[in-house]
Amino acid sequence: MRPFKYDRAKKSNDATKMVASNKNAKFLAGGTNIVDLMKENVERPDALVDVNNLELKQIKSMGSNISIGALAKNKDTANHPLIKQNFPLLTQAILSGASAQIRNMATNGGNLNQRTRCVYFYDTATPCNKREPGTGCGAAEGLNRMHAIFGYSDKCVATHPSDMCIALAALDAVVHVEDEKGNKRKILFGAYHRLPGDTPEKDNNLKHGELITSIEIPKNKFANNSYYLKVRDRASYAFALVSVATGLEIKNGIIRKSRIAMGGVAHKPWRAMIAEKELIGKKPSQKLFERAAKMEMERAKPLEHNKYKVTLGERAIVRALKMASA
Amino acid sequence: MKELNEGFESYDLVMHEDEMFLCEELTEDEEKLLDELGIHGASRRKFLGQVGAAGFGMLAMQVLAQQDTLAAEGLVDLTKSEPVSIENAVNVNMRINGVRKSLKVDSRMTLLDALRERLGLTGSKKGCDHGQCGACTVHVDGERHLSCLTLAATCEDKDIKTIEGIGDEKNLHPMQAAFVKYDAFQCGYCTPGQICSAVALLDEAKKGEVSYETENISAKTRPVQLSDDEIRERMSGNLCRCGAYPNILKAIKEVHTGKAVAQTWNFSERLDDIAENYEQEDANDETV
Ligand SMILES: Cc1cc2nc3c(=O)[nH]c(=O)nc-3n(C[C@H](O)[C@H](O)[C@H](O)COP(=O)(O)OP(=O)(O)OC[C@H]3O[C@@H](n4cnc5c(N)ncnc54)[C@H](O)[C@@H]3O)c2cc1C
Ligand code: SF4
Ligand code: FES
Ligand code: FES
């Protein structure tokens, strides 16, 4: 690990100022991703600003919406009564990720900004445009079993590794951020993470020095009909090959509103909007789910080693919809 | 006695304290070690009489070899004093197993390295150093954390409990006792992490915290009764390369339910015979 200066910030504004004034500085939250990447020499900040003492840990109702603090732990978020009762989908998604120890340490803000698990990104001996722009992409023609089937570019075929973010995408969350001048802005979840395009080094639309302060989730009627399905190489403690977060609003036996977001298939949480639309105004049925899933997955463009994700994705959508509507 | 020493003539010295020095010269290294241990003159004679010259030779070799390895890795004395110059030093005050400790650490130092190399608490293990195995699990403010992904600098005012603080040989924590009872390990390397994790798990279940395996997560919070699958899921952050999982599960289950877990396998008749023979042999040995 390279040497770095360590500072503890007492106020949000101190933290954003410290990071904004040094282009090689980074925020440190739970550390479960950045410390690991620093040990691998993938992240090389020369200063870390510890934000754990900031008052950004509350989970509370805000009018008809619920706000979760950027520094609330993943564990506390998943177990909060407001979340369990209103958004069990989020609870499930968080709990499907990592391990108990890691969820006790990981924060919500850090979870949004965790970086890809692409093995070439981690291995500094191989080319990677995300790690070293312009060096090429090791995965495009390499071992890409874990990689994207939607929305990738010739520069990068990585996937976003988070489970929590897949649920947040299905829940139409809004990310609240603040810069060093105290300017605040809100970013719709769908516009927070990026597709790789020509700048895969950028995972999201946060500016350097901008701090996530909270994540707002609008109230919805999905609580009784939602499900997070995660498919992975082993039963627990592994990243998703494919995951599906789904929420349905069913009234008098008819689907009124639907959300389907997928993990493990793209550089950002992937909204399956074609499938979502196909469900509206119809009665839940195996046939309908199969048709909707097929329509969505037909557009996938698998790489050499991940063709299985197309079939898997189709079946995962069907299974998640069945679980949610049961 | 004679029989026991047959073929091991030199070991015979063990029994004849007075003749010892006539037959067995100490090597330079051995002399050095005795000096280091502060054992001189008459007490040296007595000490050697107690451990036996041959036995001492072995001990000296081991201790000196170990010191060499430690020195080669630059580890010697780190637990006794602070390194002289530290880049990006951070002062941290924490409570470790109930005792206040003040340390000056390099900003890069993990809590795991601080525990093992600065405080001499080597119970917490380094398995992967990347958050993937759980061997380094400790409690931070009562919750299980991975000390390999925790920077020591971030531990200001934290209350840290390691396996050394969970229980000791005379006073085992019920979870430690259950691990012994159910043989819940083989090499033991993952065990401190498993036990720290399991102790925290019980607490989490008591508080009604849910897991991916919990059936009804929207239910009001109350203590969760853990099924086998729940325990497996909640322990998935602790890997065991020896594969002691079935016994780890039993140990945790016993402490969780307060009831002994029935053994699900049996010695075959043939194995029972073998076991009996062994017992017979043992009995014969004792009579010699
Ligand atoms: C072995 C292992 C297995 C895992 N498995 C899974 C899994 O199955 N599913 C899953 O979803 N995740 C998994 N994770 C990832 C884990 O969820 C993330 O590491 C965690 O959520 C990151 O949060 P943190 O608070 O520790 O972030 P940190 O490591 O502290 O920070 C991560 C990044 O976010 C930035 N950051 C942190 N807070 C803020 C903020 N408030 N504003 C702006 N930027 C910020 C930091 O600068 C850094 O760049 C796993 C991790 C490990 C080590
Ligand atoms: S897929 Fe992206 S992260 Fe992986 S090697 Fe290619 S550029 Fe790097
Ligand atoms: S050593 Fe910390 S998780 Fe493996
Ligand atoms: S007992 Fe050997 S690794 Fe678990």
Domain boundaries, chain A: 1-49+57-326
Confidence of residue B270 (pLDDT cuts 50, 70, 90): low
Amino acid found at A186 = K
| Nearest C-alpha neighbor of A149 from the set A320, A312, A322, A306 | A306
C-alpha distance from residue A135 to each of A131, A144, B190 (Å): 9, 17, 39
Collect the ranges in chain A with pLDDT lower than 50. none
| B151/A35 touch (CB, cutoff 8 Å), yes or no | yes
User: What pLDDT, on a 0 to 100 scale, did the predictor assign at position A21?
Assistant: 98
Torsion sign across C-alpha atoms B16, B18, B24, B26 = positive
Residue B77 confidence class, pLDDT cut points 50, 70, 90: very low
Task: Give the pLDDT band (50/70/90) at residue B37.
Answer: low
Ligand 3 centroid to B133 CA: how many Å? 5
**CATH number among 2.40.37.10, 1.10.150.120, 1.10.10.10, 3.40.50.12780, domain B167-263:** 1.10.150.120
Domain ranges of chain B: 27-68, 82-166, 167-263
3-state secondary structure of A67: strand
pLDDT digit string, tens, across residues B190-227 = 999 999 999 999 999 999 999 999 988 887 778 888 99
Which residues in A lie closer than 8 A to residue B108 (C-beta atoms)? Answer: 1, 3-4, 38
Pocket of ligand 1 (CB under 6 A): A 26-34, 36, 51, 70, 74, 97-98, 102, 105-107, 109-111, 113-114, 161-164, 211-212, 239; B 131-132
User: B202 to chain A: which residues are within 8 Å by CB?
Assistant: none
Pocket of ligand 3 (CB under 6 A): B 126-129, 131-136, 146, 148
Mutate to test the interface with A, among B154, B202, B207 (most CBs of A within 10 A): B154
Q: Where are the alpha helices (DSSP H) in chain A?
A: 12-20, 34-39, 74-79, 81-86, 88-95, 100-105, 108-112, 119-122, 164-170, 189-192, 273-279, 286-297, 308-325
| Complete edge-to-edge strand list for the sheet that includes strand A226-231 | A226-231, A242-251, A254-263, A270-271
Cβ of residue A92 closer than 8 Å to a chain B Cβ: yes
Closest chain A C-alpha to B150 CA, distance in angstroms: 7
Place of tokens 């909204």: A271
CA B163 to chain centre: 8
pLDDT of residue B6: 43
Helices (H), B102-238: 111-113, 163-166, 174-181, 191-206, 228-234
Percent above pLDDT 90 for chain B? 56
CATH of B82-166, one of 3.40.1310.30, 3.40.50.2300, 3.40.50.12780, 3.10.20.30: 3.10.20.30
Residue B19 banded pLDDT, cuts 50, 70, 90: very low
**Residue A239 near ligand 2, beta carbon < 6 Å:** no
Contact A50, A10 (CB under 8 A): no
In this structure, the number of other CB atoms found within 10 A of the CB of residue B110 comes to: 25
For residues B52 and B13, the answer to whether their CB atoms sit within 8 Å is yes
State which amino acid sits at residue A94. I
| Partners of A204 in the β-ladder | A193
Inter-chain contact B154–A36, Cβ cutoff 8 Å?
no
ipTM computed for the complex: 0.97
Q: How far is the CA of A241 from the centre of ligand 4 (A)?
A: 28
Per-residue pLDDT of A190-205, as tens digits, reads: 999 999 999 999 999 9
**Cα B147 to middle of ligand 3, angstroms:** 7
In the DSSP assignment, the letter for residue B224 is: P
Q: Cβ B218–A96 below 8 Å, yes or no?
A: no
A34: which 2 tokens? Answer: 């950045």
CA distance A303 to A299: 13
CA distance B175 to chain A (A): 18
| pLDDT value for B47 | 53
Atom of ligand 1 nearest to the CA of A177: 42
On whether the A1-49+57-326 domain is CATH 3.30.465.10, my answer is: yes
